[in-house]
Amino acid sequence: MTDCKIYIAIVEHSYIICEGLSNILLKSDHHSQVFRFESLQELSEFPGREKLNMVIINPSFAISDRKDFFALRKSLKNAKWLGLIYSYFDKKIIELFDDTIEISYDPSDIKKIISKISKEDWPCLEEDQVEELSEREKDVLIELVNGFSNKEIAEKLNISTHTVASHRKNITSKIGVKSLAGLTIYSITKGIISLEDL
């Protein structure tokens, strides 16, 4: 068993298919963390998307949300994209992916594909490589999530608006999230704020 942690996103409408695939992935020889998304929009708003090593996706999303698909492929340049095939797709659609997994594959075949790709393409990614926010960045983040402007945050924290802007830039750089919704989700999942604080 490897010490590598692989972050995998599954973009799929079907709960049953997603659960089955997640179960197979979590039983592989890799320490995997699997995230499920029902749309490309959900994936684009996911605070941890920069850490993703692999996106397993129903190719129908590449057809229906073409613009979002290509934008995400471009932004997640280190991730491998695998098509999850269980119906016929044109060859041009299949060529958009680095590899494919067919729904009829044996679990051992799926594990082999994941293992082959992970050995070829990624160094081990450890949890402690993620840069933590400073206490002041957390203070700024809390105020942002509460809807305050840069000027209001500067006044409240007794710092300059330039410093607030600098902290915002650092927060975005560290966690890879720009939208208010994404910042809110990140803050809640990391325990920086609670739902009661909103």
Residue with tokens 């994404």: 182
Residue at which a domain ends, from 128, 157, 183: 128
Are 20 and 115 within one domain?
A: yes
Question: Which candidate, 71, 88, 82, places its Cα nearest to that of 12?
Answer: 82
User: What is the phi/psi pair of residue 59, to 5°?
Assistant: -60, -15
pLDDT digit string (tens) for 27-40?
776 677 889 999 99
User: Do residues 19 and 112 share a domain?
Assistant: yes
pLDDT digits (tens, 9 = 90+) for 48-64: 888 898 999 999 999 99
Segment 180-198, tens digit of pLDDT: 877 888 888 788 887 666 6
Q: Which of 91, 113, 128 is the last residue of a domain?
A: 128
User: Which has more confidence, 67 or 117?
Assistant: 67
Tell me how many domains the chain contains.
2
**Cα→Cα distances 142→11, 32, 55, 172, 196, Å:** 30, 30, 30, 14, 13
Q: What is the pLDDT of residues 89-121, one digit of tens each?
A: 899 999 999 999 999 998 888 888 887 877 666
Which CATH number fits the domain that encloses residue 115? 3.40.50.2300
Q: Which of 128, 152, 177 is the last residue of a domain?
A: 128
Query: Could you list the residue range(s) of the whole structural domain that residue 191 is in?
Result: 131-197
For residues 146-174, one letter each, b for 16 or more C-beta atoms within 10 angstroms of the residue's C-beta and e for the rest, the string is: eebebeebbeebebeeebbeebbebbeee
Q: Return the pLDDT at 50.
A: 87
38 and 106 in a single domain? The answer is yes
> Residue 83 — pLDDT band, cuts 50, 70, 90?
very high
